[in-house]
């Protein structure tokens, strides 16, 4: 388990797909804590309804790492953590493929 004072960066990488006929948005992605460091942790964000990537990342980090993050921006500001978000539009197949690749790479 990683401690708050060990976190230097949080990268939220997501793909989103808009289901035009039904008017719904879906996301999938991964959260990388301490990208490219020895204590890097990769968390998978499964295919899910909604477009709030920060909320999904916060929930996953709280569950998987035992943290108590209420607001991602405030958490990073208060602990001097670099927060990066990369979001791209995709297709439904692209989202499902990203989830499979994250799992194969060992994301939690």
DSSP 61-76: HHHHH----S-HHHHH
Please tell me the pTM assigned to this model: 0.81
Task: Give the mean pLDDT of 25-52.
Answer: 87
Work out how many domains the chain is built from and give that number.
1
- Judge whether 20 lies within some domain: yes
How far apart, in whole angstroms, are the C-alpha atoms of residue 86 and residue 21?
A: 26
Q: Does 66 fall in a domain?
A: yes
DSSP 79: T
On whether the CB atoms of residues 46 and 108 are closer than 8 A, the answer is: no
| Position 84 in a domain | yes
* Structural domain boundaries, residue 60: 7-104
Element (H, E) at 19: strand 9-19
Q: Give the CA dihedral 40, 75, 80, 7, nearest 10 degrees.
A: -20
How much is the pLDDT for 4? 94
Lowest pLDDT segment from 34-38, 62-66, 77-81: 62-66
């Amino acid at each position: 388990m990683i401690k708050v004072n060990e976190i230097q960066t949080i990268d939220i990488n997501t793909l989103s797909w808009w289901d035009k006929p039904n008017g719904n948005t879906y996301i999938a992605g991964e959260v990388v804590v301490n990208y490219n460091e020895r204590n890097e942790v990769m968390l998978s964000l499964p295919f899910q309804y909604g477009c709030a990537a920060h909320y999904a990342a916060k929930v996953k980090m709280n569950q998987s790492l035992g943290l108590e993050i209420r607001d991602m921006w405030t958490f990073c500001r208060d602990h001097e953590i670099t927060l990066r978000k990369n979001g791209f539009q995709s297709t439904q197949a692209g989202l499902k493929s990203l989830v499979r690749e994250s799992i194969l790479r060992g994301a939690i």
